[in-house]
Homo-oligomer: A and B are copies of this chain.
């Protein structure tokens, strides 16, 4: 009743060739006559062949080396999550003899990106996962990868000029719209919103710009003449003026909400607000990190939009491994859902093993 899976042997029989030939066709290894090629392809078109991946890994018995080019996890809890995802992927793929090595760079030092990239290339990996946070450096690194033919997956930062095997991230524009939706939900009448960027997040320039665009567009469409929006760029959070600057913003009577554009900025701003009555001013920011979840619980943050950095890298490695081992073509773009985290659903995200 249930037909056994088709095997290479079956294809060979049907095509009237040997298993070796079928294998060569399947893997584009060449050294196959036009005639044989056609016969095999004809059969492959007829049937639904799904290679037994278990047998393939066992048979080929080779080890793949993947390299990840990511910011130092110790710099920022957001990037710490990215590294956690790589670690998780490492374990997922260990049984298939896929090894993952991380090359770290400094978020505030473009040259460290170049250095790490050079080191990575020396290791001659079979595939690369990278966060292209420095535009120019990423472009040139990408050129080198293209030349060497090493497949690369990017994540976090969309770069139009680059065409990686796959990009993993979010729709940043839409993310800004979600932020505006949450700030404005249920509000009536005139209001004032602030978009807060932290200049330190310069490596996230694309995030800041796209999110802001979405944020403004949404309110423009939904509440055309009711909502005033001010963009505030703040410098180094270590600055003595930083705190007072933020607190000064709160005195505005019409201020009904603050939208913070990155995860680090989110918990920094929340920590400054903590202890001060923020009244009915809503705060929406990014990412359910340990640092921010506390402020969410305390009611200082109303909503977080989750970017799922851990899953992003985990999926990235998985795409590379699947590509190398099983010749799977990942989607050119994976846009993660824009998860809304509230006080009441945050625990379900933290404890879930699914994410």
Contacts and interface: CB of A to CB of B under 8 A. Distances in A.
B311 A344 contact: no
A174 B335 contact: no
A30 interface: no
Given A186-B282, A345-B338, A348-B337, A95 B53 contact: yes
Interface stretch (A79-87, A137-145, A175-183): A175-183
Interface in A328-355: 331, 334-345, 347-349, 351-355
Given A5-B97, A50-B95, A97-B5, A345 B335 contact: no
Interface stretch (A54-62, A66-74, A157-165, A198-206): A54-62
Contact of A58 (B2, B58, B302): B58
A58 B54 contact: yes
A341 B352 CA distance: 18
A294 to B, nearest CB: 18
Contacts of A63: 2
Contacts of A53: 95
A336 B355 CA distance: 8
A52 interface: yes
A170 interface: yes
A334 B354 CA distance: 8
A331 to B, nearest CB: 6
Contact of A52 (B50, B95, B99, B354): B95
A164 to B, nearest CB: 16
Interface string A76-115: 0000000000000000001111010000000000000000
B344 A171 contact: no
- The interface centre, meaning the residue of A97, A180, A335, A348 with most chain B CB atoms within 10 A of its CB, is A348
A259 interface: no
A315 interface: yes
Copies in the complex: 2
Contacts of A95: 5, 50-54
A286 interface: no
Nearest to A170: B348
- The interface centre, meaning the residue of A311, A338, A341 with most chain B CB atoms within 10 A of its CB, is A338
Contacts of A181: 342-344
A218 interface: yes
Interface in A1-35: 2, 4-5
Interface string A35-57: 00000000000000011111101
A52 B325 CA distance: 14
Nearest to A97: B5
A315 B354 CA distance: 9
A171 B344 CA distance: 11
Interface of A: 2, 4-5, 50-55, 57-58, 63, 94-97, 99, 170-171, 174, 177-178, 180-182, 185-187, 218, 282, 302, 311, 315, 331, 334-345, 347-349, 351-355
The 7 A-B residue pairs with the shortest CB-CB distance, nearest first, are A338-B345, A340-B340, A186-B186, A181-B344, A178-B344, A338-B348, A337-B349
25 contacts: A2-B63, A4-B97, A5-B94, A50-B95, A53-B95, A54-B54, A171-B348, A177-B344, A178-B342, A180-B344, A182-B342, A185-B186, A185-B342, A186-B282, A331-B353, A334-B354, A335-B351, A335-B352, A336-B354, A337-B339, A337-B345, A337-B348, A337-B349, A340-B340, A340-B341
